[in-house]
């Protein structure tokens, strides 16, 4: 039974100006939803629009069209006062944790800062909550509270970013490739920490990555993006066993296996170069790389439709 929906994105479109007259659609008619307590993994190649969706949800990027509903409230229709009350419930951690921190502000003060926005003026209470949150994410407040970001490792900076996001007790946490710049051993630590924090704080998560091996360990469902569109959404366990879209199969085939005796899966792409988002091909956007493409694929863009009770796929000839 699916959980009650917390976030619903409907027909989201985001355009950027390219020169004086041309525009590029970074996101084109994307629709997805996330249930309470669920982790949705959003995957795809760099430049497909994943981060743009995340930035639109938290209000860092204004959508060109579409609706974003959070807990039943349309964020595009909310007043400034209403958004100020809602935004603490939507928090985001970024790929470059060091760049997301103020280099001139001490770690403790950086974690405290979100509490100043809703008006928590008591300095002692802010400091106490910051120290408790530092302990929760595995940072020793006695050693780290007065340090600066340049004194920390990449993994420690990401823990600071996580503590800063969670100190407001959000309902939805958006993770924009939070482990892609970290060593493999540190990646595992951060992923385990995210899972622990999800259970402890009752979080709902949108986890963005280009690495399907990482997404597999943390997601309940997986959504695959290609050139600004969603091409498949499925239960994680089913997706990794039976991908329905040829692009999903290509991504799964690209995951390296640490077994020298295992034979590599044959790729399903005839052309490895992704088309330019500024000039996407007509019809199915993946047809230029798909060996199963037929004439209809070059003319008619497939709609995201239900394949069964839990899966959706946008393909004329699903696998």
Distance CA(140)–CA(79), nearest Å, equals: 40
Per-residue confidence (pLDDT) for residue 40, from 0 to 100: 93
- Count the Cβ atoms, other than its own, within 10 Å of residue 35: 17
2-30 exposure pattern, b = at least 16 Cβ within 10 A, e = fewer: eeebbbbbeebbbeeeeeeeeebbbbbbb
More confident residue, 54 or 267: 54
Q: pLDDT for 150-161, tens place per residue?
A: 998 888 888 899
The single residue listed with the structure tokens 């597999």 is: 216
What phi and psi, each to the nearest 5 degrees, are found at residue 34? -130, 125
3-state class (DSSP) for residue 236: helix
Q: pLDDT for 166-207, tens place per residue?
A: 998 899 999 988 887 777 778 888 888 888 888 888 899 999
Using alpha carbons, list the distances in angstroms from residue 61 to 14, 127, 312: 8, 31, 27
Per-residue confidence (pLDDT) for residue 179, from 0 to 100: 82
Asked whether residue 263 carries a pLDDT value surpassing 80, the answer given is: no
Asked whether residue 108 carries a pLDDT value surpassing 80, the answer given is: yes
Distance CA(161)–CA(101), nearest Å, equals: 8
Distance CA(165)–CA(161), nearest Å, equals: 6
**Length of the chain in residues, anyone?**
319
To the nearest 10°, report the CA torsion of 53, 314, 301, 208: 20
Average of per-residue pLDDT values in the chain: 84
Q: pLDDT for 21-36, tens place per residue?
A: 778 888 888 999 999 9
Residue 149 backbone class (left: φ over 0; alpha: ψ -120 to 50; beta: rest): alpha
Per-residue confidence (pLDDT) for residue 86, from 0 to 100: 86
In the structure encoding, which two tokens stand for residue 68, read together? 């974003």
Per-residue confidence (pLDDT) for residue 300, from 0 to 100: 84
In the structure encoding, which two tokens stand for residue 253, read together? 């085939």
Report yes or no: 143 and 151 within 8 Å, Cβ to Cβ: no
The single residue listed with the structure tokens 């300095």 is: 123
Q: Going by DSSP bridges, is the β-strand pair 312-313/229-235 parallel, antiparallel, or unpaired?
A: antiparallel
Distance CA(306)–CA(285), nearest Å, equals: 19
């Amino acid at each position: 039974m699916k959980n009650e929906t917390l976030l619903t994105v409907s027909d989201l479109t985001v355009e950027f100006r390219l020169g004086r007259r041309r525009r590029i659609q970074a996101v084109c008619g994307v629709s997805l939803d996330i249930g309470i307590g669920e982790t949705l993994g959003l995957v795809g190649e760099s430049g497909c629009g994943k981060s743009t969706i995340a930035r639109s949800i938290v209000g860092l990027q204004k959508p060109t069209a579409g609706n974003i509903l959070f807990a039943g409230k349309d964020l595009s229709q909310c007043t400034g006062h209403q958004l100020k009350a809602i935004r603490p419930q939507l928090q985001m951690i970024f790929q470059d944790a060091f760049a997301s921190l103020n280099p001139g502000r001490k770690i403790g003060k950086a974690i405290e800062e979100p509490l100043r926005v809703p008006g928590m003026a008591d300095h002692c209470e802010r400091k106490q909550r910051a120290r408790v949150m530092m302990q929760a994410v595995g940072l020793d407040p006695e050693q780290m509270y007065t340090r600066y970001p340049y004194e920390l490792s990449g993994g420690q900076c990401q823990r600071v970013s996580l503590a800063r996001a969670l100190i407001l007790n959000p309902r939805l946490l958006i993770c924009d490739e939070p482990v892609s710049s970290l060593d493999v051993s540190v990646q595992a630590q951060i992923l385990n920490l995210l899972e622990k924090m999800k259970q402890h704080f009752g979080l709902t998560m949108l986890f963005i990555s280009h690495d399907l091996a990482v997404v597999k360990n943390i997601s309940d469902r997986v959504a695959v993006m290609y050139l600004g569109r969603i091409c498949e959404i499925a239960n994680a366990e089913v997706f990794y066993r039976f991908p329905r879209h040829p692009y999903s199969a290509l991504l799964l085939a690209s995951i390296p296996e640490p077994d020298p005796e295992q034979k590599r899966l044959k790729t399903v792409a005839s052309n490895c170069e992704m088309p330019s988002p500024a000039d996407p091909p007509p019809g199915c956007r993946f047809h230029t790389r798909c060996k199963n493409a037929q004439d209809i694929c070059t003319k008619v863009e497939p709609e995201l439709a239900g394949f069964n009770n839990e899966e959706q796929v946008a393909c004329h000839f699903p696998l």
